[in-house]
Structure 1
Amino acid sequence: MNTISEDMLNKIYNPIIVCNSTGQVLYTNSIMNSFFEYAKIKILKNIQDLDIDFNYEDILEKGTSHRSILINGLLCPVSIHRLTAQSNSLNIMYMFDSSVINNKTVENVINDIDEVIVIFNELGIIEKMNELCDVLLPFNRCEALGQSIYEISQRGLVKDPIIIDMLKIKEKIYRNVKYPSGKTLAYTAIPFFHNNGDLKGGVLTGRDITRLIKLQTSINLDIKQPETIEYISQSKVIDNIKKMVIRAAAYDSSIFITGESGVGKEIIARMIYNYSSRREKPFITINCGAIPSELLESEFFGYEEGTFTGAKRGGRKGLLEEAHGGTIFLDEIGELPLPMQTKILRVLQENEFTRIGGTTPIRLNIRYISATNISDAELHNSKRFRQDLYYRLNVIPIKIPPIKDRKEDIFPLIKYFLDFYNKKYNRCLRFSPIAIKILYKYDWPGNIRELKNMIERLIVLAANDVISEDDLSIFMNLSEPENPLNDMPSVTINGHSNLNTVYGIVDQIMIPKAIEKYGSVVTASKELGVNPCTIHRKIKSGCIKL
C-alpha cells in the first residue's frame, strides 16, 4: 500500500486490517494496533489467524460483506471490502465496528493490569479507573469517575495531581507519591494526541513500590560489600594510579588522596593498606568531618580516668593509639578545624602524644593516609588548611579524576554493580541499549557512589527484567521524584536540552529503521531492547510515523 492510503486509513476511528490475496497482513492502523495491545494479541501475520473463513475469491465476488469474528472471546462485527492497491491489484480490507474498543472491552483489559489505571480526556475529566484504584488510592472510584481532576483536587481528594501538570505541558511526567496510609506509588502520566496534534487526553498508571522500598532498606544479606573490592576500572589513568599504589604501599611515606566525593578515595586507601607490610596490623578510619569539634581531642587522643565528669573508668584509648603499628586513614581531613590541625601536626613531628588529662607521652608508629574532596585552591589557603601540615601529609599525592573524565570506566562499573546486586537481591536484570547510552552520557556528579546507589535502586525497584530509559527517568532520583534526572548536565542534542524531546528524536530515527529492517515490531523491539507494546503505544500516539 502507498503512504497516502495508509495515512487516510489511519485517520479512520474504526480498527482496520488490510491483507492480500493469500491473507498476508499488509497493514493495520493505529486503532487496530491499540486493540491488539489491549486484547494481548501478538503481531498478526495472516488474517486467517483471526478469520478462519477467509476466502479471497468469495470476497471479490460479493464486493462488500458483513459478519462477526470471534477475537479472544469477544464477538467483533466487521465489514469486509475490496481495496485497490497502487499496483492496481485487489487487496482486502477488514473494517471492524468501533464497538470492539468500547467501554466493556477496555474495562476488562485494564482490570487485569496490576497497576492503578486512570483514563481521562483533554479536559481532565476522569473517564475510566480500574478496580485496583479502590485498593491503593485514598478514595473510591465513585468519588472521581465522571468528575474533572480540577474539581477532585479542589475537594481535597488529591494534592498537586500529576494529571493537571501533564495537561499543562502535554508531555509524559513521572512522580512518586506517598500517601498517609504509608503506601508509595510511582506514577506515570502519558498524553494521547489526535492525528492533527491536538491533545486527546491521557492515561495515568501507578505502580505500588512500597514493598520494594522497604526491601531496599531492610534486606541485610551476608554478602561482601562492593566498597571492599579492588578498584574497578579499565582506564589508563586509573591503571597508572594502581601501579603507583603498589609501589608506594611498600614504604611508609604519607599519602594524600584528592578527588571529588564518591570517586573511591577510601578504596584506594584500603588498597595501599592491603599491599603494605602493615596489612596484618590495624586499619583505623577517621572521618574528620563527622566528629563534633568539641569531641575531636578525646576521639583522637583519648583521656585518663577522672579527666572530666562521666569519663570512663580507667580512661580510654584514642583512635591514634588504636592505630599504633598499623595505618590510620584521615578521611575528609580538610574539614578539621585549624586548632586541631595544629595538634595533629605536632603528633606527626614528634611521633608521640599525650592523653587528655595525662602527663606521660605515648609513642606512636603509624602510617598516615589522608583524603579530601576540597579543591586545590582551598588546600593552599592557609586560612583553611595549615600549609606545614599539608606538606607533611602530601609526600605522595594521588589525584583521582571523576568518572566523567574517564568514561571508559563506566561500563565495567555498571557490569560489576549489576552482577553484584542481581546476586544480592536474586534478580536477573539487564539494561536496554538506549539505557546504557544514557548512563554513558550522564556526567555522574556523585561519581562511583552515585552509580552504585542508582544500580541498586533499579535492581530493587524495576518491574521488568530489561531496565529501560523510562525506568531511569523514574528511579534515578527518588529523593526528588517530581524532577527525575534533575542532576543531568545542561547539554543539547539537535538543539534540544529536554530529555523527553531528545528521546522522541531517537525514537523517530531508530524505531522506523528497525521495523523496516526486521519486518515486524516484535523482532525490532527485541533488537532495540524495548517492549513491543511500547512501540505500538508510540505509533498509536503519533510519536512515531512509519
Structure 2
Amino acid sequence: MKFSEFVNAYIQIVGAGASIQDCAEILADAPGKNLLVADDPHHIQGILTLREIARALAAQAPPQVPAREFASTDFQRVLPGESLPETAEGSPAYWLVAESGRIIGVVSRARVSEQIHKGSLSVMRRMSIFLDSIYNPVVAIDAEGLVIFCNQSLAKVSGKNVEEILGKPIGDLFEDSQLIRIIRTGKAESTQKVSLGGKVYMTNRTPIFMGGRIVGATAVLQDISELEAISNELEHTRRISLELDAIIESSFDGIYVTDGEGRTLRVNKAYERTTGIRREDVVGRTMAELVERGFFNESVSMRVLENRKGESLVQKVKTGKTVMVTGTPIFDDQGEISLVVTNVRDVTELYNLQNELGRMEVLRTRYENELEQLRESAGAAPSVVIRSKKMKEVHELALRLARVDATVLVQGESGVGKEIFADLIHSNSPRKDKPFVKISCAAIPEQLLESELFGYEAGAFTGAKAKGKAGIFESADGGTIFLDEIGEMPLGLQAKLLRVLQDKKIMRVGANHSIDVDIRILAATNRDLSQMVDKGAFRNDLYFRLNVVPVVIPPLRERKEAIVNFAYHFLEKYNRKYGFAKQIAPDVLDILYDYDWPGNVRELENTVERMVVVTKGDVIEPADLPEKLRIAPKSGLAHALGGGSLKSALEGLEREILQQALETHGSTHKAAKALGINQSTVVRKLQRYGINPKKNNGD
C-alpha cells in the first residue's frame, strides 16, 4: 500500500504567530483539517490537529499562546509513491506527503495503524481459510510456546477443537515437541518424526521473524504412517530374506533354483560340495544350455516346467557324481510357474548299491529257477508258480479261505488259473481228504446238467436207469464241489442251486423228497455276473449267495514278472513228459515277456508245450515261436522305435509327436496349445531334434 492511497489533502498553512484560539476556531469549522504551522510554505515547523488543540486545553494554556508551542514536530516527509510501513510501531506521528517540492497532504500514524490492522486481519483471515483447506496439519506458537494458530487438519487428528488447542502450551499437544527449540536456536529443522493421534508424522519446523526478531515458530506435518508401515514391512522382508539365505546356505542337501524359463538363479554351498560344480559356472545359464554342454545328462527343472508338477530323477553330473534331484514348481498368482526349487542329494554310493542289488536279483532269480528245475526233476514239482506280488496276495488269500467253510466266487479271464486256485483251497482245507468234484457248467448240455448235478429217481425220464442215479452233489457229500463257468448255468437250475446253498438240501429229478448234503461250493466265472444280474441273465439272490468272498485273479499281462518263471516251469514239465532236455534262448524270453497273452497262463503253457514238441534243436530260438508271437507288435516304446535304450526310445517318440503336432496344427503356437506345453518349449525341442518349423508354418 502507498502513502498516496491514504493522504489527507485537507490542509491549511497558518503563520507561526497564530494563537491556539485562532487555530481552534479554524478546526471548529473543519474538524478533519490538518493545520501546517510555518513561516513560509517551504518551512513547516509543526502540524496541528484537534488532537494537539485538545492537549493544549488539557494543559490549560491561555488562548493567546502561540500555536507552534503545541504543534507536533514528530513528522517525516515522504513521496506519494512510497509504501506504508509494515507496522506503525516506531513510526512518526505524521507524514508530510510532498510532490515536486509541494506539500499535497498529511498521513497520520493513527490512519496507517488502522489500515495495517485491517490489512492484517484480512490477510490472516485469508491465510486461515487457506491453511484450513490443506490436508497437512499446521501449528504455530508464540515466543512463550503457546499455540497461536492451528488448522482444522491438526485439530482433527488430535481429536480436539481448535478453541481447545489455542492458547495452550505446545507440550500439551506434542509430548516430545521440539518446536520451542526452534525459537531458541532460530534455525529451521526438517524431516523430524513426531507422533499424534496414533499416527507417525514427518514435520518441518521454521522460526517466525517479525521486525528482525523471532516472535514464534511454525510446524507443518506430513502423515507418513503408511510409509512407516511399508518401511517396517521392507525391513521385515529384508530380515526374512537374510534368514532364508542363511537357511538355504546351511542346508545339508544341495538346493538349485531356476526361474520360470529354466534359467539358473542360485545354488547353495552344499550343491557345490555335493556335485563339484561351482555356482559361477551355472548361475545365469538355462538348464537346456547346461544339459547341452554336458553339465548334466538331463534336467529335472525342464521336466517340471513341461509337466507343471513335481518331478524326481537320478541325475549324472559332469564330475562323475550321481545325485537324486527332486524339483518342485512354485506358482505365481496367475497360475504360472515362477520358480523351480530343486533338492539335490548325493546318491552315488546308493546308486552303486542299487546296481549291485540289481545284479544280485538277477542271480537270485536264476538260482531260484535252477533250484525249481532241480525240485521238479526230482519229482516234487509244485502245482503253483508264484512270482508276482499280486499272485502272492492271491495265494495268501487262498490259504486263509481254506481254513473257513465259506462259499467262494473266483473271477478272472479264461486261462488265469481259477481251477488251480480252487485246488489250493480244497487241498488246504479240513475237507482235503473228502471228494473234490469239478464240473463245467458250459460243458454239459442244459437238458443233462440238472440230472448230473442233482441225480434222478427210477423212471424219471425216458432212458433213466431202473435204480436211478445219485448226482454230483450226493457223490461229493462231505467234500467240495467246484462249479466252473457258473455264469453259463440256466436260470431254472440257478433256483435249485440257491436252495442247496441256503438249506444244504437237494432233490433228485422225479423225486418228491429232499436229501441233506454236506458240501462246500466253490464257483468260478470269466463273465461279469453283476452285469448279467442287471440284464436278468443271472439271479440276483444267487449272485449274492455265491459272492460271499469274491476273489479276482489278475490276467497274466498284469503280472509280467511271472512270465519267465512260468516259462521255465512249463519247459521242465514238458521236457520231463516228452523226455527232452531243451532250453530257451534269452531272446525268446524277451518276446514272451512283451506278448500280452490274451489266453493267459493256459495260452503260455500251450505255447511252451508246442515249442518243446516241434523245435528241432536243443535250444528254442525266436524262429521256433508261433507266427503270432513273432509278428506281434512290441509293447511300449520298443514298438514305437524298434528297440534301443529307454532314453533313445523316449526321444524318438517325442520327436514323432512334435512332428505330427506341427504338421497337424500348422504353427508352433497351436501345436504347443494342443500338447499342453509352452510355445518356447516346443521351439526348443524342435531345435534339439533338428526340425525346421518354417517348413510347416510361418511362425
Q: State the TM-score, normalized to the length of structure 2.
A: 0.37
Larger relative contact order (C-alpha < 8 A, sep ≥ 6)? Answer: 1
Tell me the TM-score normalised to structure 1 length.
Answer: 0.46
Bigger CA radius of gyration = 2
